[in-house]
C-alpha cells in the first residue's frame, strides 16, 4: 500500500501562554482564507503549541512565518470514526489491540462523520498496522 | 564589648601611621603580582613614591574584571604552596573570581569576625547557628572560624531544610543566628506555621544582601532578636569588613585592615564625608592576594566621625550598586553571566530579559529567552527539554535556581545603546 497518501500535514505553532495569541493566529489564517478543520492547544509552563489541521498548510505556514510565528509541520494520521455513542471506543480499541502508542490526539466531527487525528511515534508503521486492523484511514487529499 | 580595644579604637595620627606602614608593605607585596607590577609601571609610580596615605590616589583602580582576567591564580602574591584555602565568588562572566588565603590571612579574617561578633555583644556563652552556604561562598567558613575564635558553640547548619533548622534552634537553645535577611524572614514564617517558639534567640546577624529598616523591624519582631547588618565581600576576605555596633547607625569598617575611599563612580574623584559614592578599598593586611584600590561596586558614604562606642569612622549601610550586579538570595549575579550562558545555547536566541521578584520573602529570578526558530520541531516535549536545559545551564553557572520562560522569537525588546535587561520588582518589599 502507498502509506504516504495517509500522512497528513499538521501545522504546529509555538505560542506564549498569554491572552490574544490564539486570536492572532486565527486572524492570520482567516486573512489568508485558510480554513481550520480541527485544532488543539497543548500547554506547558508558560508556553504552548497550537496544533491545527488546515486545508492549505503551506499557505498557513508561509503566512504565520511571515508574521514572526515559529511554525513547524508535523506528520499526523486521521482515522474515521462513527459519530455515534461508542464510536471512539471502537477505534481506540483497534489502536490499542494493534499496540499503537498515541503521543497526542484530538478529534472533530463533520458532515461526513467524526475524525480522530493522531500523532504517533512511527507514522508509516502505524498506518500499516491501522489499515490491517480494520479501521478506516482518511487520505490527506481529503483535507488539503 | 571589645575583642581588641586598642586596635578597634585607634584614631588620628596613630591610626594613620599604622595604615601607612601597612599600605607600604601591601604595595611592596603587590609587586609580586604581574598585574600590579605593570599597573604601577604604566602609571609611572614606584612603590617608594607612596609616602602618604593620599599618595594612593596616584595608583589606578582595580576592577572586578581585572581579577577575572587573572583567573585562576594571577593575583596571588605568594607561591601556591603558601595558600591554604581558596574560595570563589561569581565573576562577571563564565569563570568565577578566585580568592586565596595564607594561614595569616585566615587568622586575620577570623579575628575581624571575632571583633564584629563581640561588638554586638555575643560571647563564649552563646550558641551560634550559621545558616549560610559552607561551600565556596565565604559566608559559611568565615563566620564559622570567627565564632569559634570567640569560643562560641558553633552549629554549622548551612542552608536548607528550614524545619530542621528550627528544631535545632529549639533543641540546642540557639541564641545567635547568621543568615541572609530574606532567609531569616522565611525561617520566621515556617516557625509560625509549625507553632514553634524561638524564645532562645537574642541576636540576628544578617548580611550578603541589602535590606531595609522596615525589614529590620519586622525581623526583630518576628524572631525576637536584635538585628545587625554585616558587610563584606570575598575579594576582601569575605564577611567581616564592616559591621554595625549596638548603636546601629552605620557600619564600622575596620580602618587598621582596610583603607577606605569613596569615589564618584563616573569620574573616579575622591569624595568627602556625607557624599554618596562607590566604596573603594585597599586591604592592608592581606598576604595571599593584596589588592590596590579595589572598586567594590557598592554605594555608601563616609559618616561623620564620633560614634558613642568610641570605635572608628563609620560608613552608611549599603544603598545600592554602581554596576548592574544583582543579589539574589544572597548570591551575586551579573547580567553578563546570564548572557554568557544564553549565548552558548543554540536552541534559544541571543536576547533575554531578567525579572526579579520577591515571593514569600524569597527572591525569585525569571529569565525570558526566545526560542530559536531553527530548533522548533513542533513538539511540546522538545520545547520542555530546551527549557530544562536553560534552567540547568543557568543553575550550573550561577549556582542559583531560576525560572525560565520560553517566548516567541522576536518578542523580546531589542535595545539600541544601553540595554536594560533586568527588571527588579522587589522594591522595598519585605
Domain ranges of chain B: 1-323, 331-424
Checking B374-379 for CB contacts under 8 A at 24+ apart, the result is B375/B346, B375/B347, B375/B348, B376/A14, B376/A70, B376/A71, B376/A72, B377/A72, B378/A10, B378/A12, B378/A49, B378/A51, B378/A71, B378/A72, B378/A73, B378/A74, B379/A12, B379/A49, B379/A74
Distance from CA of A85 to the nearest CA of B (A): 31
> One digit per residue, pLDDT tens: chain A, 144 residues?
788 999 999 999 999 988 999 999 999 999 999 999 999 999 988 899 999 999 999 999 999 999 999 999 999 999 999 999 998 998 888 888 888 899 999 999 988 889 999 999 889 989 998 888 888 999 999 888
In a mutational test of the B interface, the residue from A49, A69, A102 whose CB has the highest number of chain B CBs within 10 Å is A49
CATH of the domain at A114: 3.30.70.260
**pLDDT at B89 (0 to 100):** 87
Distance from CA of A104 to the nearest CA of B (A): 10
Give chain A's contact residues with B (Cβ, < 8 Å).
10, 12, 14-16, 42, 44-49, 51, 68-74
Residues A21 and A35 in one domain: yes
Torsion sign (Cα): B398, B243, B24, B149 = negative
Distance from CA of B371 to the nearest CA of A (A): 8
**Who among B373, B384, B405 is closest to A70 (CB)?**
B373
In a mutational test of the B interface, the residue from A12, A13, A14, A104 whose CB has the highest number of chain B CBs within 10 Å is A14
CATH of the domain at A54: 3.30.2130.10
Q: Which of A74, A92, A115 is the last residue of a domain?
A: A74
Residues A55 and A105 in one domain: no
Look up the CATH number of domain B331-424. Answer: 3.30.300.30
Residues A44 and A66 in one domain: yes
Residues A100 and A62 in one domain: no
**pLDDT at B166 (0 to 100):** 97
Instruction: Give me B96's grid cell.
Output: 568565577
Cα B410 from Cα A102, distance rounded (Å):
33
Q: Which H, E and C letters describe chain B, residue by residue?
A: CCCCHHHHCCCHHHHHHHHHHHHHHHHHHHCCCHHHHHHHHHCCCCHHHCCCHHHHHHCCCECHHHHHHCCCCCCCCCCHHHCCEEEEECCCCCCCEEEEECHHHHHHHHHHHHHHHHHCCCCCCCEEEECCCCCCCHHHHHHHHHHHHHCCEEECCCCCCHHHHHHHHHHHCCCEEEECHHHHHHHHHHHHHCCCCCCCCCEEEEECCCCCHHHHHHHHHHHCCEEEEEEEEHHHCEEEEEEECCCCCCEEECCCCEEEEEECCCCCCECCCCCCEEEEEEECCCCCCCCCCEEEEEEECECCCCCCCCCCCEECCCCEECCCCEEECCEEECHHHHHHHHHCCCCEEEEEEEEEEEECCEEEEEEEEEECHHHCCCCHHHHHHHHHHHHHHHHHHHCCCCEEEEECCCCCCCCCCCCCCEEECCCCCC
**Domain-embedded: residue A2:** no
Hey, are the CB atoms on A16 and B407 less than 8 Å from each other?
yes
* Domain encompassing residue A113: 76-142
**Domain-embedded: residue A1:** no
Judging contacts by C-beta atoms under 8 Å, the chain A residues touching residue B406 are 14, 16, 46-47
**Domain-embedded: residue A132:** yes
**pLDDT at B260 (0 to 100):** 98
**Domain-embedded: residue A13:** yes
pLDDT in tens, A84-97: 999 899 888 888 88
The low-confidence residues of chain B, meaning pLDDT below 70, are 92-94, 417, 428-430
**Domain-embedded: residue A17:** yes
Distance from CA of B327 to the nearest CA of A (A): 25
Look up the CATH number of domain B1-323. Answer: 3.40.50.12780
List the 361-390 stretch of B: residues with Cβ below 8 A of A: 371, 373, 376-380, 383-384, 387
Would you give the distance in Å from CA B220 to the centre of its chain? 23
The number of distinct structural domains making up chain A is 2
Hey, are the CB atoms on B411 and A16 less than 8 Å from each other?
yes
List the 396-425 stretch of B: residues with Cβ below 8 A of A: 405-411
Judging contacts by C-beta atoms under 8 Å, the chain A residues touching residue B387 are 44-45, 47
**Domain-embedded: residue A88:** yes
**pLDDT at B429 (0 to 100):** 58
Residues A64 and A93 in one domain: no
What pTM was computed for the model?
A: 0.79
Residues A11 and A47 in one domain: yes
Q: Which of A37, A54, A74 is the last residue of a domain?
A: A74
Q: Which of A74, A100, A120 is the last residue of a domain?
A: A74
- B161 touching chain A per CB within 8 A: no
Amino acid at each position: 500500500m502507498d502509506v504516504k497518501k495517509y500522512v497528513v500535514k499538521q501545522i504546529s505553532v509555538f505560542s506564549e501562554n498569554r491572552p490574544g495569541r490564539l486570536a492572532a493566529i486565527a486572524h492570520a489564517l482567516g486573512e489568508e482564507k485558510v480554513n481550520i478543520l480541527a485544532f488543539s492547544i497543548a500547554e506547558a509552563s508558560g508556553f504552548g503549541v497550537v496544533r491545527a489541521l488546515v486545508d492549505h498548510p503551506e499557505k498557513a505556514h508561509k503566512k504565520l512565518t511571515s508574521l514572526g510565528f515559529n511554525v513547524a509541520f508535523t506528520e499526523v494520521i486521521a482515522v474515521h470514526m462513527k459519530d455515534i455513542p461508542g464510536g471512539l471506543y471502537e477505534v481506540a480499541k483497534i489502536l490499542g489491540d494493534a499496540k499503537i502508542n498515541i503521543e497526542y490526539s484530538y478529534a472533530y466531527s463533520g458532515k461526513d462523520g467524526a475524525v480522530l487525528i493522531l500523532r504517533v511515534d512511527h507514522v508509516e508503521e502505524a498506518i500499516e498496522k491501522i489499515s490491517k486492523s480494520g479501521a478506516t484511514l482518511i487520505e490527506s487529499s481529503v483535507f488539503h | 564589648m571589645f575583642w581588641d580595644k586598642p586596635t578597634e579604637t585607634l584614631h588620628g595620627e596613630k591610626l594613620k601611621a599604622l595604615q601607612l606602614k601597612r599600605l607600604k608593605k601591601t604595595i611592596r607585596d603587590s609587586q609580586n603580582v604581574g598585574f600590579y607590577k605593570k599597573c604601577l609601571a604604566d602609571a609611572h609610580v614606584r612603590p617608594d613614591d607612596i609616602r602618604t596615605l593620599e599618595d594612593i590616589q596616584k595608583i589606578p583602580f582595580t576592577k572586578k574584571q581585572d581579577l577575572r582576567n587573572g583567573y585562576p591564580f594571577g593575583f596571588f602574591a605568594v607561591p601556591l604552596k603558601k595558600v591554604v584555602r581558596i574560595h570563589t565568588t561569581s565573576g562577571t562572566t563564565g569563570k568565577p573570581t578566585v580568592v586565596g588565603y595564607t594561614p595569616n590571612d585566615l587568622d586575620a579574617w577570623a579575628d575581624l569576625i571575632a571583633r564584629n561578633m563581640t561588638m554586638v555583644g555575643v560571647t563564649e556563652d552563646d550558641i551560634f547557628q550559621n545558616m549560610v552556604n559552607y561551600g565556596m561562598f565565604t559566608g559559611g567558613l568565615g563566620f564559622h572560624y570567627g565564632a569559634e575564635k570567640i569560643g562560641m558553640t558553633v552549629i554549622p547548619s548551612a542552608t536548607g531544610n528550614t524545619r530542621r533548622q528550627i528544631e535545632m534552634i529549639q533543641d540546642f537553645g540557639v541564641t545567635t543566628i547568621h543568615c541572609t535577611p530574606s532567609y531569616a524572614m522565611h525561617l520566621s514564617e515556617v516557625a509560625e506555621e509549625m507553632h514553634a517558639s524561638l524564645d532562645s534567640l537574642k541576636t540576628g546577624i544578617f548580611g550578603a544582601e541589602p535590606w531595609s529598616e522596615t525589614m529590620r523591624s519586622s525581623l526583630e519582631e518576628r524572631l525576637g532578636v536584635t538585628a545587625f547588618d554585616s558587610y563584606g565581600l570575598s575579594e576582601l576576605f569575605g564577611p567581616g569588613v564592616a559591621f554595625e555596633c549596638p548603636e546601629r547607625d552605620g557600619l564600622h569598617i575596620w580602618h587598621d585592615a582596610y583603607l577606605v575611599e569613596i569615589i564618584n563612580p563616573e569620574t573616579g574623584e575622591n569624595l568627602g564625608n556625607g557624599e554618596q559614592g562607590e566604596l573603594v578599598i585597599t586591604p592592608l593586611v592581606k598576604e595571599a592576594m593584596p589588592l590596590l584600590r579595589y572598586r567594590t561596586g557598592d554605594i555608601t558614604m563616609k559618616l561623620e566621625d564620633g560614634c558613642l562606642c568610641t570605635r572608628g569612622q563609620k560608613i552608611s549601610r549599603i544603598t545600592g550598586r554602581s554596576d548592574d550586579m544583582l543579589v539574589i538570595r544572597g548570591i551575586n549575579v551579573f547580567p553578563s553571566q546570564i548572557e554568557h550562558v544564553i549565548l552558548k545555547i543554540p536552541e534559544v536566541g541571543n536576547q533575554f530579559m531578567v525579572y526579579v521578584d520577591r515571593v514569600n520573602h524569597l527572591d525569585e529570578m525569571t529569565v525570558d529567552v526566545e526560542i530559536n526558530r531553527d530548533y522548533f520541531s513542533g513538539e511540546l516535549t522538545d520545547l520542555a527539554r530546551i527549557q530544562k536545559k536553560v534552567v540547568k545551564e543557568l543553575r550550573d553557572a550561577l549556582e542559583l535556581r531560576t525560572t525560565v520562560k520560553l517566548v516567541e522569537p522576536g518578542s523580546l525588546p531589542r535595545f539600541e545603546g544601553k540595554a536594560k535587561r533586568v527588571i527588579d520588582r522587589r522594591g522595598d518589599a519585605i
